[in-house]
Amino acid sequence: MGTALLYDEEMTKYKLLWVDPACKIEVPERLTVSHEALIKTGLADRCVSVPVREATDADILLVHSEEYLEAVKKTPYMTLEDLMEFTSHYGDVYFHPNIYHCAKLAAGATLQLVDSVMTGKVRNGMALVRPPGHHSMRSAANGFCVFNNVAIAAQYAKQKYGVKRVLIVDWDVHHGQGVQYAFEDDPSVLYFSWHRYEHQKFWPNLRDSDYDIVGKEKGAGFTMNVPWNTVGMKNSDYLSVFCHVLLPVAYEFCPDLVLVCAGFDSAIGDPEGKMCASPDIFAHLTHLLMNLAGGKLCAVLEGGYNLTSLHQSVCQTVQTLLGDPAPRPANLDGPSTSALESLHCVRSAHKQYWSCLKHAAELPTSEVSTKRIKLAEEDQSLDKGEEEESAEEEVWPEPPKRVAPPVRTALILPNDVACPDRCQRFSSSEDTNIVNKLREKFLKDSADNDALTALSSLIALVEKMEKNEICNGLALVRDVSMAMMCVVQHAATALNSRVLVVCVGDMVVPGHSTEDGKTLVVQFSNKEAEDQKCKYHIPVCLKKGSGDVSGFMQAVLSLLLPLGYEYDPSLVLLARTADSGMCDGVWQQLTGLLQSLAQGNTLVLLQEGESGCVDATASSLLGEAARPLGQLPAPPPGDMETLERLRQRLQADWKLLQTTAPDTGGSDEH
């Protein structure tokens, strides 16, 4: 199943016709440059091109008022003077004789994308549209937006396809207040937004954008705002919020469809956002959402005003939707203090609504909110003192080309186990060098040539992964611990290699090799955990029972992922024992999510008897979406306490595990 791309040149055919400094960045080139980059990189060719249509009146009325629609309908016939007058009723937006036509195409393209995904024509897709949508409200244009493309799409999906729950992720650097207002009392739409806020000093300067605005009535808890109170947020800040706020809540919510307000003004170089996240972070943000809703994800362009940063970010997003492994993200040095303050605030504001946040720390001493009020009083002239445009242009390295290895998934299987479709059965011509080394190290006394052959092809597979000839692999082995040991030892000899070992179930794990940091072992078992040996050996003990799915997912999202990102392995080794008791759904989520690390170089080791889950594992390794787990029940309290204790103990060594700022953090429950 493919990836849809929606684009129509017609949407480049309107522009600002007078002088307005607030609007001059919203130019037609935003779209042409993005589209040309997709063509030049060959990405457009790999997508399914879906034609754009105009949204109908009925579509638009799903969100907007009749009066507003009728008023916009008149704009194609207005004189320049009339257009300026009409524009003056709204904030930071402009009209043009052709913008109504384009706005219908932008909303219509979004609906075509939803149709393509919901009917199964494609798995996911992206709509490149102008004008953007997330600021427009029921009866008002705003912030370059005329019709609220994504809000209309959410209503449409509910109405036409009976979708029960929609997740809207707004990673644009501005608050999509229009989307928030459209769904503030609606528990069937979870709206998440992060945005430059600066204690209300940044446009659109709304009290409604703060962390304590959580939705109304039945919709309480279904609006999540992460205000950024300083500029310069980086990759670590974005990933922290995904791991500690958005993903746990999204998995608990269990959407049937994910819509992304995909604005790229949150990337480095953007004159509006002034943030420092690199364009390749969008590969990760996208990947991390692709296992929700069975992979049904629609990304819809919103902002993005640095043309270079914009087209790079668009390409990263589309390439990830197509299933190519994400690049290793650079500079994950932990979140900033200001980001941690925001994270802390949102988590505490939502702890009463989401069981995954139940153990979040209480609000910091009213410091953060009083700061906001003080600042607002001090400076009534909001947004005026905009500093002079700095002459220096931000520079950053072009994201490296992502070359998907020729083979996606290779399997080492006994002859009597069938190889799943689209995978390659791996057999290596015996390498005497490897065999001799292995014999020396592991099998001195044993004459088990079968075992030796199996292990040597395992090493050969790892070597092909190192050379980028194979992306990932799966091996059914006689002895999981032994196989793991071999791979770890082999990898340790290579320079700059780091292996993240994830074990599920009780097994002997490589102990001695962890101290130098060449290996990070995270072991999930339900045996009472032994004490942690060092920073690089992390036993996680969760209870077995009905709630174990929630507890385990929580551990994956807010413990394993941040650890993995900070460790930045060159290989992920995922092993499980036959008696781990893990269901296929959770296993697929784990396998799918871990592929965001190590450029997708994942090697899965399964016990020989476990041929039953080869297909499910291979499907995840191939990049197919894991099946949804259903709305998650509350995790067992004991598990949550275990995880929270672990997180607190580890956060000194692993900064991405922090969820509170150093000075405001103190007061945890229990």
Judged by beta carbon, residue 133 or residue 219, the one nearer ligand X5A is 133
Task: Examine residue 263 and tell whether it contacts ligand X5A (CB under 6 A).
Answer: yes
Closest separation between CB of residue 265 and Zn ion, Å? 4
Q: Which is nearer to ligand X5A, 145 or 522 (CB)?
A: 145
Nearer to Zn ion, 187 or 271 (CB): 271
Binds 280: which of Zn ion, ligand X5A, none (CB < 5-8 Å by kind): none
Contact 188, 165 (CB under 8 A): yes
- Tell me which residue of 607, 599, 598 sits closest to 617, measured CA to CA: 607
- x/- mask, ligand X5A, residues 137-176, rule CB under 6 A, reads ------xxx--------------------------x-x--
Return the one option of ligand X5A, Zn ion, none that residue 270 interacts with (CB less than 5 to 8 A, by type): none
Question: How many Cβ atoms from other residues are within 10 Å of residue 666's Cβ?
Answer: 11
Give the residue, chosen from 108, 132, 334, 473, that forms a contact with ligand X5A under the rule CB under 6 A: 132
Give the nearest distance from C-beta 228 to Zn ion in angstroms.
13
- Report the distance separating Cα 182 and Cα 624, nearest Å: 32
- Measured from the CB atom, the residue of 172 and 280 that comes closer to Zn ion is 172
Give the one entry of ligand X5A, Zn ion, none that residue 92 binds, where binding means its C-beta sits below a cut-off of 5 to 8 angstroms depending on kind. Answer: ligand X5A
CA atoms within 13 A on the CB side of 566: 25
From Zn ion, ligand X5A, none, interface partner of 328 (C-beta below 5 to 8 A by class): none
Please name the amino acid found at residue 588.
Q
Nearer CB in complex with ligand X5A: 145/247:
145
Cβ atoms of residues 190 and 167 within 8 Å: yes
Complex with ligand X5A: residue 92 or 256, whichever CB lies closer: 92
30 vs 104, beta carbon nearer ligand X5A: 30
Residue pair 157/187 in contact by the 8 Å Cβ criterion: no
CB nearer ligand X5A, residue 117 or residue 300:
300
Token couple for 85 = 């007058």
Q: How far is the CB of 502 from ligand X5A (least distance, A)?
A: 39
Smallest distance from the beta carbon of 173 to Zn ion, in angstroms?
5
Angle (CA) 530-552-349 rounded to 5° is: 110
Contacts with 108 (C-beta within 8 Å, 6 or more apart), sequence order: 52, 53, 54, 55, 59
Task: Name residue, tokens 């609504």.
Answer: 353
Q: Which of 186, 210, 265, 341 lies at the binding interface for ligand X5A (CB under 6 A)?
A: 265
Query: Which pair of structure tokens corresponds to residue 64?
Result: 């907007």
115 touches ligand X5A by CB under 6 A? no
- Cα atoms in the Cβ-side hemisphere of radius 13 Å centred on 359: 22
> Which among ligand X5A, Zn ion, none contacts residue 22 (Cβ within 5 to 8 A by kind)?
ligand X5A
Smallest distance from ligand X5A to CB 169, Å: 15
Cα–Cα distance for residue pair 542/615, rounded to 1 Å? 26
Residue 381: half-sphere exposure toward Cβ, Cα within 13 Å: 3
| Residues that bind Zn ion in the complex, under the rule CB under 5 A | 172, 174, 263, 265, 303
Tokens of 413: 């299987």
Residue 211 Cβ vs ligand X5A, minimum distance, rounded to whole Å: 21
Tell how strand 223-228 and strand 602-607 pair up: unpaired
Using rule CB under 6 A, residue 270 touches ligand X5A: no
Candidates 525, 597, 600; CA nearest to 562 is 597
| CB closer to ligand X5A out of 21 and 42 | 21
Instruction: Quote the strand ranges of 378-484, DSSP E.
Output: 407-412, 424-425, 470-477
Min dist CB 263 to Zn ion, Å, is 4
Catalytic residues: 135
Nearer to ligand X5A, 145 or 483 (CB): 145
Q: Among Zn ion, ligand X5A, none, what binds residue 282 when CB lies within 5 to 8 Å by partner kind?
A: none
Other residues' Cβ atoms within 10 Å of the Cβ of residue 374:
11
CB closer to ligand X5A, 387 vs 440: 387
Residues 291-310 within binding reach of ligand X5A (CB under 6 A) = 302-303
DSSP state of 628: P
Query: Footprint of ligand X5A on residues 189-208 (CB under 6 A)?
Result: 203
Here the tokens at position 21 are 């400094």
DSSP assignment string, 188-200: TEEEEEEEE-TTT
Q: Cα dist. 325→85, 320, 569, 599 in Å?
A: 49, 7, 14, 5
256 binds ligand X5A (CB under 6 A): no
User: Is residue 22 a contact point for ligand X5A (CB under 6 A)?
Assistant: yes
Query: In the complex, what is the shortest distance from the CB of residue 225 to Zn ion, in angstroms, rounded to a whole number?
Result: 15
CB neighbour class for 208 (10 Å; exposed up to 12, middle 13-18, buried from 19): middle
Per CB under 6 A, the list member of 35, 135, 195, 537 interacting with ligand X5A is 135
Smallest gap from residue 174 Cβ to ligand X5A (A): 5
Q: Which is nearer to Zn ion, 196 or 328 (CB)?
A: 196
Rounded Cα gap, residues 238 and 20, in angstroms: 32
Say if CB 388 and CB 372 are below 8 A apart. no
Q: Which does 135 bind (CB under 5 to 8 A by kind): ligand X5A, Zn ion, none?
A: ligand X5A
Least Å distance between CB 134 and ligand X5A?
6
Q: How many CA atoms lie within 13 A of 392 on its CB side?
A: 4
Report the Cα–Cα distance between both ends of the chain, in Å, rounded: 47
- Least distance from ligand X5A to the Cβ atom of residue 622, Å: 35
Residue 667 contacts residue 579 (beta carbons within 8 Å): no
As measured in angstroms, the least distance from the Cβ of 204 to ligand X5A is 7
Q: Please give the full DSSP string across 262-331, using - where no structure is assigned.
A: E--TTBTT-TTT---B-TTHHHHHHHHHTTSGGG-EEEEE----SHHHHHHHHHHHHHHHTTPPPPPPP-
CA distance 346 to 315: 31
Measured CA to CA, the distance from residue 27 to residue 23 in angstroms comes to 9
What, of ligand X5A, Zn ion, none, does residue 402 touch, CB below 5 to 8 Å by kind?
none
Output the residue with the shortest Cβ distance to ligand X5A.
303
Binding-site residue total for ligand X5A (CB under 6 A)? Answer: 15
Please give the residue ranges that form the binding site for ligand X5A (CB under 6 A).
22, 92, 132, 135, 143-145, 172, 174, 203, 263, 265, 272, 302-303
